Amino acid sequence: MKEINDFDKVYKYYDKFMAMFNLYKHEEVKAAANIDEHDVVVDIGGGTGRLAQYICNSCKRVYVLDESERMLSMVKQGENLMCIRGNALKTPFEDDSVDIVILSDVFHHIKEQKDLIVEINRILKYGGKIVLLDFHRKHIKTKLLRAFEFILFGGLFFRTKDEVGNLLEKYFYIEKVYEKGYYFIFVGEKR
């Protein structure tokens, strides 16, 4: 019997939910990443591939890495957009092989956040970038989102912007921090 992931249960409705509550921030993530046509990008927890689809014509290749087989079944793969079903803590990428790693609306779903940062650091090239978008733990909009997501997915691991920054700066030079009210975006460069 196949293992069913929590996101496998919601894959048909996921994009509609994200759009309805204006949770997709594709333009902002793309601008923060400053993607180049030669870049290899990994969208960790990229789900249905909406962000990857948005950026795929701006880079050499984008990989959507996700644990949910059903979410990945929604991705429109192409020559430079590929899916990989796998664990973000043990990615199949070689050391120092990726230019940009994106975590958009993913970090709070990962319990082993430090281990995730270490894995991202391993696969990024020297000078490669991490772009992390997540939600302020204490903001009212996040509290509402948290209640809804907790019903669907159980354990969540939201942090404040400062807590995320402290974790990232152990492995990355923090290039920019975008403060956006209920969410934030970090851009870090591998040291």
Which CATH number is 91's domain given?
Answer: 3.40.50.150
Q: Whose CA is closest to 117, among 191, 47, 34, 178?
A: 191
The count of C-alpha atoms lying within 13 angstroms of the C-alpha of 127, restricted to the half-sphere facing its C-beta, is 1
Domain count, the chain: 1
pLDDT of 150 reads 60
Query: Would 144 be classed as within a structural domain?
Result: yes
Query: Would 174 be classed as within a structural domain?
Result: yes
Per-residue pLDDT band at 144 (split at 50, 70, 90): low
pTM attached to this predicted model: 0.92
Give the domain extent around 27: 6-190
Query: Would 51 be classed as within a structural domain?
Result: yes
pLDDT of 148 reads 66
Average pLDDT of the residues of the chain: 91
Query: Would 125 be classed as within a structural domain?
Result: yes
Query: Would 177 be classed as within a structural domain?
Result: yes
Per-residue pLDDT band at 1 (split at 50, 70, 90): very low
- At 87-102, the pLDDT tens digits run 999 999 999 999 999 9
> In the block, which residue shows the tokens 């152990």?
170
Query: Would 89 be classed as within a structural domain?
Result: yes
Query: Would 1 be classed as within a structural domain?
Result: no
Per-residue pLDDT band at 10 (split at 50, 70, 90): confident
